[in-house]
């Protein structure tokens, strides 16, 4: 039977909180003793998902709430980043590399592509006007698991 650990985090949809989210998730994942590459990948996908929630989900309204849930089961990391913002009208289009709905902000349009390349699985659940949930999964190659 593998041990399970979890974390839940909520914060205001302010861009200054993106780095906080990266560090918090990195600290949580560190118990799996990931490689530097794995840790960098995870921090990057957290940044992408949180930034999407703030910029696209809440249209940079600082009154929104971004939620991150993390779960570790054995060597598997499960992350969910969620907002109750505007949702995505056309998910297929939004997942197209280089597409951005905010070209005036010089967005690269690579958020979902980066998440898909750095994680083993990425699922997006969205409803226009109700928000978006990005569920991600990654196996951490180091099998060392430390629970205190």
Q: Which residues contact 93 (CB under 8 A, 6 or more apart)?
A: 99
- Residue 148 has what pLDDT? 47
Active-site option among 18, 38, 48, 82? 48
Active-site option among 107, 116, 135, 139? 107
Alpha helices in 1-148 (DSSP H): 17-29, 36-52, 91-94, 111-118
37 included as an active-site residue: no
48 included as an active-site residue: yes
Whole-number Å distance between alpha carbons of 52 and 92: 15
- What is the band of 1 on the pLDDT scale with cuts at 50, 70, 90? very low
pTM: 0.88
- Exposure string over 51-75, b if 16+ CB within 10 A, otherwise e: bbbbbbbbeeeeebebbbbbbbeeb
| DSSP symbol at 103 | G
- Residue 41 has what pLDDT? 96
71 included as an active-site residue: no
What is the tens place of the pLDDT at every residue in 61-102? 999 999 999 999 999 999 999 999 999 998 888 887 776 666
């Amino acid at each position: 039977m593998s041990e399970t650990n979890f974390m839940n985090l909520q914060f205001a949809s302010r861009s200054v909180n993106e780095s906080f989210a990266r560090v918090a998730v990195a600290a949580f994942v560190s118990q799996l003793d990931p490689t530097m590459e794995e840790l960098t990948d995870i921090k990057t996908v957290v940044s992408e998902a949180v930034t999407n929630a703030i910029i696209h989900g809440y249209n940079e309204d600082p009154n929104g709430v971004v939620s991150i849930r993390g779960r570790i089961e054995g060597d598997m990391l499960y992350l969910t980043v969620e907002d109750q913002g505007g949702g995505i009208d056309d998910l297929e289009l939004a997942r197209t590399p280089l597409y951005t709905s905010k070209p005036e902000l010089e967005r690269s349009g690579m958020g979902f592509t980066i998440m898909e390349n750095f994680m083993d699985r990425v699922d997006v659940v969205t409803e226009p006007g109700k928000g978006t949930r990005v569920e991600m999964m990654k196996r951490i190659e180091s099998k060392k698991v430390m629970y205190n």
